[in-house]
Structure 1
Amino acid sequence: MDFIDQLRLLSSRIANTINLIQTEEATKNAMVMPFINILGYNPFDPLEVTPELTADVGTKKGEKVDYAILKDGKPILIFECKKAGGDLNIKHAGQLFRYFHVTETRFGVLTNGLVYRFFTDLEQPNKMDEKPFFEFNILDFKEKDVEELKKFAKSAFDVDNILNTANDLKYVRAVHQKINEFMTEPSDEFVKLVAADLIGTKRFTPALKEQFSTITKRAFDQLIGDKINERLKGAMTQSGSAPVQIVASKSEPISIDESASEKTEPQVITTPEELEGFYAVRAMLRDVVQPKRITMRDAQSYCAILLDNNNRKPLCRLRFNNVDKLKVGIFNTEKEEEIFSLENVDDLFSYADSLKNTLKSYD
């Protein structure tokens, strides 16, 4: 099984059992140890993975980290674990900081079993940075995240190779967060900068600030919607499917066809939630069928997920028109639709077995 498929399998299992995991010890056993195993290290071999590794740190005796991955008897990667979903504030990583300082390891990981934050010493030698250079979310990862994670696998681990990209990763992540802040709640300085060339010599009054704050947020939404539409259109064209339109904002469409008012039929809009659901279904079924055979056909009342783009082979219907009350219709082997409520799109993973049974009934 490929590296990414192993991660997807673990992701699906965690999504189905996370409510049962209430303690730090359970988090280690059900989440962290399988993650370490996927990286290629045997968590049951103390010469390779040592739990509760102890070191004396100054006046503190018996300092421990939850796991240390060893190479030639020396730690190369250390883990500090919190319970599932626990706070990963850097203030809670005291042991990781101290142990990092007294060992030769260049990488520390702070995790709650769901999110893994990777640290190194880019700012001061032998002193762990306060900000991670890489973050991996087992329930929400992209292929580019997997490529970075692969560098920590036993078969590929190379300190220099990781450090060569760590600096860029750290600052790209920081810029990403800053841009996200501008998108969701642009600062007065940023809005003023955006508006400067547009208002000319006019005074930047509170009224103009409010007006351009709204315009800036809508412009970001439109830009994102356009970019998603471009990529999706290209993907649909290559696969021979009809392109669909993506709307970045849940509250109102930003990008509107100027000729839409002349059409008598309402426009079908594929939302980000529906697209996320579509790719979630593909991910769940990729170990059973080639992903390209799972297709999407949107309609006014629901978004149909089909096998081979065949209406006679429905897998499920994403009933996401009301984003506050998500529902999914799962087809059983008799082609009868059973509708279930979802708290969020990730809850789709709870129905992986049902989807696989439906799929197998067609193949």
Structure 2
Amino acid sequence: MEFGEKLAAMAKKVRQDKSAVQTEEATKTSLIMPFIATVLGYDVFNLNEVVPEFIADVGLKKGEKIDYAILRDGQVQMLIECKKVGEPLSLENASQLFRYFHVTTARIACLTNGEEYRFYTDLDAPNKMDEKPFLVLDLSDIDDAIVPELSKLSKEVFDLESVISSAGELKYVSAIKRVIAAQRKEPTDDFVRVFTSRVYDGRITSKVSEQFSYLVTKSFSQYIGDQVNERLKAALGNQNFPQSADAELPTPEASTKLSPETTEDSGIETTLEEMEAYHIVRAIICSCIELQRIHSRDAKSYFSVLIDNSNRKPVCRLHFNGGTKYLGLLDEAKSETRIPLEQISDIYNHTDALREAATRYV
């Protein structure tokens, strides 16, 4: 099994088990030890690889323990401090990591609640743990960009020097991406002012700032849509397509579905907007169900996202043929609720409902 597949399997286990986990000890046993064993590949029952309740006396603090120490060739390489699943992670509950980091040979420290893993090193000052992580893994929403770096901490291909050398860039790129995502969703006054001051010559009052907050958010989405459009044009023959943000490139399978041969005879026309929406839904639910099980099927009145290509396993319906676009969410009794969409990216606002629907068929 590839590293990414192990990570996806672990994410699925966390989703299934975390509601039953009530204590820190249960978190360690049911979530964190399996992560160390199956994802990172260390033998949790071999004290030459994983030492639980690791002790390294620090100053006046005697007998204080860190939850796990990972060893290679007899040297401590990574320290792991655990909290209960669902508990927020912060520097306040990482004090032991700070103290232990500079008295051991460890270059990597990890703070985790079994669902989120924050990895730290000593970029800012030698032998002193940084206050900000260089890598954040959220098993509820895995960032594919960090998977290759995380794999370097696994037993099979452990490459500490490579991790440390790329940690600085990774730390700030990840932080900037989180800032961009937050600003796109809800821009701050300072962020809005940067753009407003470059296009508006008048005095920026609170009313003007409020108006531009909406305009900046809309412009951000349209700009992303433009970039996606350019890539779609190149991929599908330089056609003019309707604008929409947040869509992924169609797969070859999806591209063939847009061809005349598949639509003219049946009288069904699958639009690019429907395919963009399908790929958004697909991206949302692939974290809780295998990607190869997700299918689409178009009809004259609506476009369906299905599991196992079965009409008996619908996730949602897309009603895009009229003036107003609707997302159709179905409950367990297959009763449909239609939700209007101002733009296709609004589908992301219903992530939980879509994942809940897909989970019924796991």
TM-score in same-fold range (> 0.5): yes
| Equivalent residues, number | 314
Indicate the residue corresponding to 1:182 in structure 2: 183
Does residue 197 of structure 1 match 2:194?
no
Structure 2 gap segments, 5+ residues each:
236-248, 259-270, 319-324, 338-350
* 1:294-313 Cα shifts (integer Å, max 9, x gaps): 43236665632265xxx7x4
What's the offset of the Cα at 1:210? 1.9
Indicate the residue corresponding to 2:218 in structure 1: 218
Once residues 251 and 24 of structure 2 are traced to their aligned partners in structure 1, the CA distance between those partners, rounded to angstroms, is 47
Indicate the residue corresponding to 1:162 in structure 2: 163
What's the offset of the Cα at 1:211? 1.6
Q: Give the aligned residue type for 2:314.
A: R
Q: Secondary structure at the match of 1:68?
A: strand
Once residues 314 and 66 of structure 1 are traced to their aligned partners in structure 2, the CA distance between those partners, rounded to angstroms, is 48
* 1:92-126 Cα shifts (integer Å, max 9, x gaps): 11111111121111100000000000001111111
Does residue 319 of structure 1 match 2:316?
yes
Choose the corresponding residue for 1:347, options 340, 352, 356.
356
After superposition, residues 2-41 of structure 1 pair within 5 angstroms as 2-37=2-37, 38-41=39-42
After superposition, residues 130-141 of structure 1 pair within 5 angstroms as 130-141=131-142
- The percent of aligned pairs where both chains have the same amino acid is 38
Once residues 181 and 225 of structure 1 are traced to their aligned partners in structure 2, the CA distance between those partners, rounded to angstroms, is 18
* 1:152-205 Cα shifts (integer Å, max 9, x gaps): 1112212211011100011112222332343233333332321233223x2223
Q: Give the aligned residue type for 2:21.
A: I
Q: Are the equivalent residues in 2 in contact too, given 1:296–1:305 (CA < 8 A)?
A: yes
Q: Are the equivalent residues in 1 in contact too, given 2:307–2:313 (CA < 8 A)?
A: yes
TM-score normalised to the size of structure 2? 0.75
After superposition, residues 1-363 of structure 1 pair within 5 angstroms as 1-37=1-37, 38-200=39-201, 202-227=202-227, 234=235, 235-236=249-250, 238-239=252-253, 240-242=255-257, 268=274, 270=277, 274-277=281-284, 279-280=286-287, 284-285=289-290, 291=292, 294-297=294-297, 303-305=304-306, 313-314=310-311, 316-319=313-316, 326-327=329-330, 344-347=353-356, 350-353=359-362
Once residues 131 and 4 of structure 1 are traced to their aligned partners in structure 2, the CA distance between those partners, rounded to angstroms, is 25
Q: Are the equivalent residues in 1 in contact too, given 2:307–2:358 (CA < 8 A)?
A: no
Q: Are the equivalent residues in 2 in contact too, given 1:134–1:170 (CA < 8 A)?
A: yes
RMSD: 3.4
Once residues 9 and 347 of structure 1 are traced to their aligned partners in structure 2, the CA distance between those partners, rounded to angstroms, is 18
TM-score normalised to the size of structure 1? 0.75
Q: Secondary structure at the match of 2:195?
A: helix
Structure 1 gap segments, 5+ residues each:
244-264, 330-336, 354-363
Cα 1:226–1:296 change in 2 (3 A) is farther
Once residues 324 and 102 of structure 1 are traced to their aligned partners in structure 2, the CA distance between those partners, rounded to angstroms, is 56
